[in-house]
Structure 1
Amino acid sequence: MTSFPSSRQTSRRRLLGGTAAGALGFAALGTAMAAGPARSQQPPSGTYRIDLHAHFLPPDYRAALIEHGHFTIGGYPTPNWSPEEAIGFMDYYGIQAQALSVSDPGVSFLGGQEAIDMARYCNTYAADLFRTHPTRFGAFAVLPMPDLAASIAEIAFALDTLRLDGVVLLSAYNGIYLGDPRFEPLMAELNRRRAFVFVHPAAIAPDAKPELPLPDFLEEFTFDTTRAATLMMFTGVTQRYPDIRFQLAHAGGTLPFVSHRIGVASQTVLGELWPDTLPRPSVLDTATQISRFYYDTALSGAPAAMASVLAVTSRDHIVFGSDWPFSAATLPQRGSHDPAPGLSDIFDADQRMEVEHHNPLRQLPRLAEAVAT
């Protein structure tokens, strides 16, 4: 598979600040490993991984992004994508199948019927992929948000007719975060269907964030996932709709780290001002809700991140994610076929098999049946 390493090298050259970001990553990894002995176990062998955080850019979708000025996504140059290159990537890194999703900005950069048509195009394209490559691809449906009526209609078509494996939602749409009461009909429908929902961060409008010389995917994406998850807890979404299984991108952003902090709100003066219409958070209740989220390993396969996740939930709520093709510049150098070697510093081989294979397939029964054939 000679084409994939050269593609990665091209992306590496194009990634602004990649060298600095890599240095920061290695420094953090060194600090985490110094805090305790690493397992340094060998991962399982073979093509076994099930990737629940992997993106695709069908031709018409990518063309529309470029036409509307989206030359970068989260500060990362908008990549090319093809089924052939995706399969090459999977073969190289021991990935049995990917559940594909559309990344930020979804289809919300379009409006009205254009957004509805583009969502249908992407979802149908994905369904065609896992009909022609049934053991290699699944997909999460993109919705024409924030149009709730059209989104609920697309859920029915995508899950009932196309048989996609779940739904992808952005953390916010036009600055309105998941958990806002305006999304209540959508959440009710997802709960009725016991849907698996992948929550992916969204870029914040330039006039709503600090002016820093850093791409959004380094920090802002993690913060936005945290905002969405916290608001869903504080407005009672995760309590009212317990049958939605939410997967939080990138190890939950910063949610594991701030898990105790957000739970003490009711013990401060804030608790006295809490609206009567909202459930009042407590340390115990917040901890329970946080433990019910699923957390993926995308760009987070390191002891510091995984130890934080394990502090707030059990290992069966961790699933593998690669974030490809947006992670192309961060993958190990050519010669290593392990896409996340840092996972072996905290998980042994059996535990990695659980995180990277068994846990994802438990959540996606259609894909599990397909890969078992």
Structure 2
Amino acid sequence: MIVDIHAHYFPKEYTDLLVRIGGRSLPESARALTARPIRQDDSSGIPTRLQQMEEAEVQMQVLSPAASPPYAEKEADAVEAARLINDTYAELARKYPGRFNAVVSLPLPHIDASLREMERGLDQLGMLGVSMTCSCFDRSTAETEFEPLYQEMNRRGAVLNYHPIQNGICSPMINDYGFTVSVGASLEDAAIVLHLIARRVPERFPNIKYVVPHLGGIIPMLLQRLDNQAPRQHPNLPERPSVTARRFYYDIVGHGSQAALLCAWKAFGADHLVAGSDYPVLLAFETYRQNFFYLRESSLPAADVDK
């Protein structure tokens, strides 16, 4: 059975709170497109979700709020939102043991409050790791102000799931042309990998299990180029960028693209690809079952598919 590490659940109470507190970090050009989450969920949809999980042979979904994290300028607002979404996920996990769990959502950019919520989520709520978006209020989450979070996750040996926040890497070259979500999300995925490498975060915090979505965006195609350019552009790195990139894990969300899957498999190896779906977003394009079974239709070795 499959553990889907990249799934979402958007309770109405939470999404309404985000709208009220203005808790999303988006450039003006992208805000009109993504001012609210794609959908809202409630408990009435859980039986259908569970049926789709059975059809896809998914044992458990690991939930996060996708590009709608509990971020807000006012600490009290961010904490309220973080506690609400984490408590909601914890209640689902209690009600459906073994079928749902979550990664802890943090009330960023407030570091001390985030450390407290991380402790609560991991130690009291029993969550499986931590969720961070690739940036927060247009600051990469690889920057030094987030270092206390990495220190604590490193101490715990925690899983860290990244997710795009749908800001098109703050670029009008992406957002002004309507590619904030379709292309910008993959560029955000790639950007956080590059930022982590450039800031030498994995070297300093090696006990964290870094998980990047969407097959790592364009990273699989850049490894050799990064290695070739590193001596001139980043001469102080402790190892080739490709070596560091292969220390991360990447989920298989690829909109059914065999080419993207094969590229990531060749770049990272099957041991560093993990099951993920982007549920329920993927349902606009494919069935839940298809998201996983496209691996079986690929030319990957059967032993690697089973991993």
- TM-score range, shorter-chain basis? 0.7 to 0.9
8 A Cα contact 2:168 2:184, kept in partner: no
2:294 aligned to which of 322, 334, 342: 342
**Residues 45-104 of structure 1: per-residue CA shift (max 9 Å, x gap):** xxx221111011123112224545989875896212234143233133322210111111
Seen in structure 2, the aligned counterparts of structure 1 residues 325 and 265 have a Cα distance that, compared at 3 Å, is same
Q: Is the 8 A contact 1:179 1:233 kept in 2?
A: no
- Of 96, 100, 108, which aligns to 1:145? 108
Aligned counterpart, 1:58:
11
Q: Which residue of 2 aligns with 1:261?
A: 225
**Structure-2 separation of matches of 1:249 and 1:206:** 15
Instruction: State the alpha-carbon separation in 2 of the partners of residues 247 and 81 from structure 1.
Output: 25
| Match of residue 223 from structure 1 | 187
1:233 counterpart residue number: 197
Q: What amino acid does structure 1 have at the position aligned with 2:193?
A: A
Q: Would the aligned equivalents of 1:196 and 1:247 in 2 still touch at CA under 8 Å?
A: yes
Q: Alpha carbons of 1:110 and 1:184: their partners in 2 closer, same or farther (altered >3 Å)? A: closer
Gaps of 5+ in 1: 1-47, 275-279, 355-373
Choose from 81, 85, 90 the match for 2:41. Answer: 81
In structure 2, relative to structure 1, the CA distance for the partners of 1:233 and 1:114 (3 Å cut) is same
Structure 1 residue 120 displacement after superposition: 1.0
State the Cα deviation string for residues 13-65 of structure 1 (Å, max 9, x = none).
Answer: xxxxxxxxxxxxxxxxxxxxxxxxxxxxxxxxxxx221111011123112224
Structure 2 counterparts to residues 90-129 of structure 1, below 5 A: 90-109=53-72, 111-129=74-92
**Which one-letter code corresponds to 1:347 in the other structure?**
L
Instruction: Tell me how far 1:110 sits from its aligned partner.
Output: 5.9
Q: Is contact 2:159–2:208 with CA below 8 Å preserved after alignment?
A: yes
Residues 96/262 of structure 1: CA separation in 2 closer, same or farther (3 Å cut) = same
Which one scores higher on RCO, CA 8 angstroms, separation ≥ 6?
Answer: 1
Q: Aligned-pair distance for 1:127?
A: 1.2
Aligned to 2:28: none
In the alignment, residue 5 of structure 2 is paired with which amino acid?
Answer: L
Q: Deviations over 1:284-307 (max 9, x none)?
A: 531221111101011354321122
**Cα offset for 1:212?**
4.0
- Report what 2:237 is aligned to: 281
| CA displacement at 1:105 relative to structure 2 | 3.0
Distance 1:89 1:63, change over 3 A: farther
Counterpart of 2:216 in structure 1 is: 252
Query: Which residue is equivalent to 1:358?
Result: none
Counterpart residue type for residue 240 of structure 1: R
Specify the code of the residue in structure 2 equivalent to 1:247.
Answer: V
2:145 match: 182
CA distance, structure 1, for counterparts of residue 33 and residue 124 of structure 2: 30
Counterpart check, 1:330 vs 2:290: no
Q: In 1, Cα distance between the equivalents of 2:169 and 2:200?
A: 29
* 8 Å CA contact retained: 1:141, 1:168: yes
TM-score, with normalisation over the residues of structure 2? 0.87
For 1:242, which of 186, 206, 209 is the aligned residue?
Answer: 206
The one of 351, 366, 370 aligned to 2:304: 351
Q: Which amino acid aligns with 2:62?
A: A
The aligned counterpart of 1:193 is 156
Whole-Å Cα distance in 1 between the matches of residues 14 and 276 of structure 2?
22
Q: How many residues align?
A: 295
Corresponding residue of 1:308: 263
Deviation at 1:106, TM superposition (A): 0.4
With over 3 angstroms needed to count, the CA separation of the structure-2 counterparts of 1:191 and 1:183, relative to structure 1, is: same
Offset of 1:128 from its aligned partner? 1.3
**After the TM superposition, which segments of 4 or more aligned residues of structure 1 sit over 4 Å from their partners?**
66-77
* Structure 2 counterpart SS, 1:264: helix
Cα gap change, 1:156 to 1:89, in 2 (>3 Å): same
Q: How does 1:161-176 map to 2 (within 5 A)?
A: 161-176=124-139
Does structure 2 conserve the Cα–Cα contact (< 8 Å) formed by 1:171 and 1:177? yes
Q: Which has the larger radius of gyration?
A: 1
User: What is the root-mean-square deviation of aligned Cα atoms in Å?
Assistant: 2.5
In the alignment, the residues of structure 2 paired with residue 109 and residue 324 of structure 1 have an alpha-carbon distance, to the nearest angstrom, of: 25
> Mean alpha-carbon deviation: is it higher for 195-204 or for 212-221?
212-221
Higher mean displacement: 304-313 or 70-79? 70-79
- Deviations along 1:253-290, whole A, 9 cap, x unmatched? 1111112222233333x35xx6xxxxx237x5312211
